[in-house]
Chains A and B, each alone.
Chain A
Amino acid sequence: GAVVSQHPSRVICKSGTSVKIECRSLDFQATTMFWYRQFPKQSLMLMATSNEGSKATYEQGVEKDKFLINHASLTLSTLTVTSAHPEDSSFYICSATTGADQPQHFGDGTRLSIL
């Protein structure tokens, strides 16, 4: 149980393109989802917290207009990297939890490469 699916797994696109990444909880309802960014050989940096039906809460230094997050249902959250540039290239991972006092379950991640 507690499977989180993330799609796509790999994206390569040109600079200026907007890219949407989906995070789905397949067998549970996720009241909260988190989005992380991970640079090569580095830690997972929390970008934002996404609660179903409300606006995402962004960490300090993360541009909310650059990284648009939508959590439209209890099983789906999306991250859109708008007008992506090479510096946005990274590994993006989502996680989901059923609520308070429950662990986070991670997706497989999306490797984004902007040319």
Chain B
Amino acid sequence: GENVEQHPSTLSVQEGDSAVIKCTYSDSASNYFPWYKQELGKRPQLIIDIRSNVGEKKDQRIAVTLNKTAKHFSLHITETQPEDSAVYFCAASEGYNFNKFYFGSGTKLNVKP
């Protein structure tokens, strides 16, 4: 299956600063890349996603960029707030199968007030 690598594993930022999480994937046919936020003991929540026909997508303080040639995509959070603290997972679809995807190893984001 798809191999998704995610960095960094932990990230600490000061409130108001930006946070960037990066992922790479192995399957050049992958065309759907969601990002999930998971708070401790809770379900993963979809926060943003991007499809391969788009290079960038933004939703308020969250943005995702995709470089298909290099097979990497990134999550950008601006003006971070303490409630942004959580574990963030990237994922990449198995080829053209939007429904099935593989997760990265996760990034624990800590926003210090």
Contacts and interface: CB of A to CB of B under 8 A. Distances in A.
B44 A60 contact: no
Contact of A103 (B34, B102, B104, B108): B34
A63 interface: no
| A interface, size bucket | 20 to 34
Contacts of A45: 103
Given A100-B99, A101-B98, A106 B44 contact: yes
A32 B93 CA distance: 15
Interface residues of B, number: 21
Which secondary structure characterizes the binding site on chain A?
loop
Nearest to B97: A100
B73 interface: no
Nearest to A46: B102
Q: Which of A60, A99, A102, A103 has the most CB of B within 10 A?
A: A103
Nearest to B46: A103
A104 B106 CA distance: 18
12 contacts: A32-B100, A41-B106, A42-B105, A42-B106, A97-B99, A100-B98, A102-B98, A103-B46, A105-B46, A106-B44, A107-B43, A109-B42
